[in-house]
Structure 1
């Protein structure tokens, strides 16, 4: 027998280290060449590392959440003596579910974590023996289906966050039914609901301990840094969107079922038309260099919720697109973010962010700024409400618009004036199509 040490290759971004998001193997597992080993996350992408050789896993470089330096040993294999091993190739990154954090630039949070020492079989057994018996223990996993043809079946599609949660609960993902092409948190919830073995004797679902790693940890870090560094203020105004909704319905009737419009592309057009008079809204602030960069173009980030967490794909040069192009762009980017197929250039460079919760939009919001931007807009839900118009009480379709701004850069008067300018365009939708 021989031992082969697999070192973490440069994954193509010039980075010094990457985070272990999820292990797909454990010490003692037998793997074939190209079987999945683990998911490694950088600032912008999660990359699946695969086995360079066939053999037995005898050592791994740390646990989920640990930072591993490029060039350090990731895993050690015990292979057949004389087996030929090719040099580990450079891996080209391919963004997936954990590709984008809610921030364009990394946030310094102290010294870089040191790579963890390799974990061997003896250490693993010793740690298990020392485990505190008072801690909650995940239920035993369900039995796995027998291997086909002597090899374990390929793993079920699921994000690293879903895999980690299933691992903590002791759930075999092969036993979980998925509504779509991959298993999501909702599928795990349904599995827990209908499998009483994963519930406590009192009927309540067992407690879970979820380690904050990967995209969720980066979101937490970046949101905390944004709130620490930026003095936020929020302004809310109500819009009468009755005329706009009537126009939208007419346009959708004209187009039939093809590319039906939501209210979002109309709002984007209104925002782009109003921004030239308020350049401080469409800007980025480098607070270390004390430099504000006003953007001539509108690169609009669209906050999108995915199974892995919040991501912000970007519509570049939104000011140059019409409502139909914007509608197609929003749909394509949202789907790309959800499925992990968004390109790196589609996930960076935003100058202003629009966060919409759709039908869950609520009455008002206080969104957190996507640093280093200086403002974020949040349209709330459209609802019929009684209003006074020309001295008469009428029923109108109303929507609130919330904006949060960086008070170091944007004055309250300017933020309110900008929102009022957008309101005029939205309430008189013909102006949206006037050059």
Structure 2
């Protein structure tokens, strides 16, 4: 028998530590070679750690949410040369006696208890958040006690609405007395609830109180919190909003989709990115990254567009690289690919870094205006808002138009308000005259 100490490898350039976001094994579990041990998250991506040996897990490095340094022990596995694997040792002195000369690290706190199931995304809040309090607190649920004579009353008569309401309240309609042959009405249900209020029933239409929950901020949610706090702490934001008439743009988009063939369906986003790429060369201060510690602004020659994407694990920002070299259909294809990879937690570190400007959109949920937070160290982020139909004047006539507010947040240390407003006006020209998006 020997002990193999699996140390956390270097899983990203410049990364000094990684966070445990999921355990796939627990102390006492047998693992096979190449079996998944844990998911580790860095600033760039989540990486699955696989076992290089077969054996029994005897120590693990901590709980979900803990940080592990690069090169530090992650898992200790007891391997076998022949025969069965011995049960995991629990005494540190025993471990040392059994393994003289074997590579060792500082002892790990053995975490007894159930293993963590497979997690398919960056955040495992479903595995770590407290259970639904209502599933444990049964005292507030309604438990009517039928009268002994109810069995003789036959079928209960009630409308579907009354039945649905009684079901939501946990009331057995057979417990409510009404004259034979009459239907149970909402008023009968209300009277029954009032009469039994002392037995834990709630007033009709009342919202049940829920127990407080404490949810540990870990994984992707912690990264988002740290990044947003750093962005707001270091960057003096300002936001400019303007209204754009996208009636012609939406008509053109509908025509393109009607003749797209096997190509992906176009949303507004690829058209907006084309407009951005057309206009950014005249506004290099916006397509930039600011190293505030070194005091250097790097104005990028290429447009690498970050695409804020909502996933079950939280907000991620995959990057569409070299957007200036892609046409609208290629952009649509890349957007779909990156969005699917983000939601499946399959993005690589290269697909998550190096952005020069970001776009964020809530799509149909978008409100009148947004004030998006800059994706540091970038200096600008663009937020298209919801498209709405409103009456507008065209000369002396009132016509229907599709309007959209466009927000841009900028780092006021390197971008002036005049620059931001001028850039949005340039975007507006392309979006309101969409044929220019395809002109040489």
TM-score normalized by the length of structure 1: 0.73
Deviation at 1:17, TM superposition (A): 2.7
Deviates more, 1:313-322 or 1:215-224: 313-322
Q: Deviations over 1:241-287 (max 9, x none)?
A: 11111111112122257422112111111122122222111111111
Q: How many residues align?
A: 354
**Aligned Cα RMSD in Å?**
3.0
Matches within 5 A, 1:62-211: 62-80=62-80, 118-120=108-110, 158-162=120-124, 164-169=125-130, 197-198=135-136, 201-202=139-140, 206-211=211-216
Cα deviations across residues 272-309 of structure 1 (Å, max 9, x unaligned)? Answer: 21222221111111111111111222111111111222
- Structure 2: stretches of 5+ with no match in the other structure: 86-104, 141-207
- Of residues 282, 286, 289, the one that matches 2:287 is 282
Deviation per residue, 1:156-214 (Å, 9 max, x gap):
5532523x4324446xxxxxxxxxxxxxxxxxxxxx69xx6356543655543222222
The match for 2:424 among 419, 422, 428 is 419
> Which of 354, 361, 365 is the matching residue for 1:360?
365
Structure with greater Cα Rg: 2
Q: TM-score, normalised by structure 2?
A: 0.73
For 2:221 and 2:31, how far apart are their aligned partners in 1?
A: 29
Which of these residues, 255, 264, 281, is aligned with residue 260 of structure 2? 255
Q: Does 1:265 align with 2:266?
A: no
Q: Does the 8 Å contact 2:21/2:122 carry over to 1?
A: yes
- Deviation digits for residues 60-106 of structure 1, max 9, x if unmatched? 22222222223322223345575799xxxxxxxxxxxxxxxxxxxxx
Q: Which moved more, 1:401-410 or 1:242-251?
A: 242-251
Counterpart of 2:306 in structure 1 is: 301
Runs of 5+ unmatched residues, structure 1 = 86-114, 126-140, 142-151, 171-191
1:339-388 CA deviation, whole Å, 9 max, x = no partner?
Answer: 23333322221111111111111111000001111110000011111222
Distance 1:358 1:55, change over 3 A: same
Between 1:266-275 and 1:386-395, the stretch displaced more is: 386-395
| More off after superposition, 35-44 vs 197-206 | 197-206
**Does the C-alpha gap of structure 1 residues 83 and 65 become closer, same or farther in structure 2, counting only changes over 3 Å?**
farther
1:8 corresponds in structure 2 to 8
Deviates more, 1:293-302 or 1:7-16: 7-16
SS of match in other structure, 2:77 = strand
Q: Deviations over 1:386-406 (max 9, x none)?
A: 222213322211110000001
Does the 8 A contact of 1:17 with 1:67 survive in 2? yes
Classify 1:23/1:200 alpha carbon distance in 2 versus 1 (closer, same or farther; 3 Å).
farther
Instruction: Name the counterpart of 1:234.
Output: 239
CA distance in structure 1 between the partners assigned to 2:73 and 2:350 by the alignment:
31
